[in-house]
Amino acid sequence: MYSLVSASLLGCDLADLSSEIKSIEQAGADWLHCDVMDGAFVNNISFGTPVLKCIKKAASVPLDTHLMINDPIRYIDDYAQLGSDNITFHVEAAGDPQSVIDRIHSHGISAGISLKPATPVSAVKPFLESVDLVLVMTVDPGFGGQKFMPDTLEKISEIRYLLDSMGKKDVRIEVDGGINGTTVKYCREAGADVMVSGSYIFGAQDRTAAVKSLKV
């Protein structure tokens, strides 16, 4: 599988959201990454359903919705009905992760499970049979522009090994945090194939070149 680029809208100018979406789509982004934060699971608040509705109207590429919220099953129906093409939730935030996966799949969309840098792979291992994507956070979630954490590369490699040994080669591994033209190479070598990037591509003078640099 070739690398996909999921442009994190946390890095864009939200006051000019529609133009930013068009710009990043023209630059070659494959997905739009929408970080939903509740101020409880992570120490930040971003945007919720009203903004997602606006994003969906402006977007022509799939919406990659990342729920950084407690008890995510409460909101799966809402974000699915808003037009999310993939919904990823955190294993640390869900009392019954399998029920969340099943709820996402009940809407006919892709289900992803995510883990923080400090969370061991063993936490998501029981769910690798049923998810479509695993999101490895390569920074502590909550804020954009953080520095990539190299020790997360071992976690990516371990998940890729487990997926391959299970014959789940179609399950994608997504990475999020400090992804740029340098760190993307390490992530790709470790087995990741979806690269989330915000400030690196939205802050670039040449966004097309920035996106291209992530499609290694």
Cβ 55 vs Cβ 29: under 8 Å: no
Q: Which residues contact 97 (CB under 8 A, 6 or more apart)?
A: 89, 91, 113, 124, 126, 127
Q: Mention every residue, 6+ apart, whose C-beta is less than 8 A from residue 188.
A: 3, 195, 216
Distance of CA 178 to the CA centre of its chain: 13
Question: Is 176 part of the annotated catalytic residue set?
Answer: yes
Beta carbons of 30 and 3 less than 8 angstroms apart: no
Residues in contact with 165: Cβ distance below 8 Å, sequence separation at least 6, in sequence order: none
The one catalytic residue among 30, 38, 176, 193:
176
Q: What is the dihedral of CA 92, 94, 97, 102, to 10 degrees?
A: -140
Evaluate the CA torsion angle 113, 115, 119, 121 in order and state its sign.
positive
Report whether 19 contacts 48 (CB < 8 A): no
Instruction: Out of 30, 35, 38, 132, pick the active-site residue.
Output: 35
Enclosing H/E stretch for 155: helix 153-165
The set of catalytic residues is 35, 176
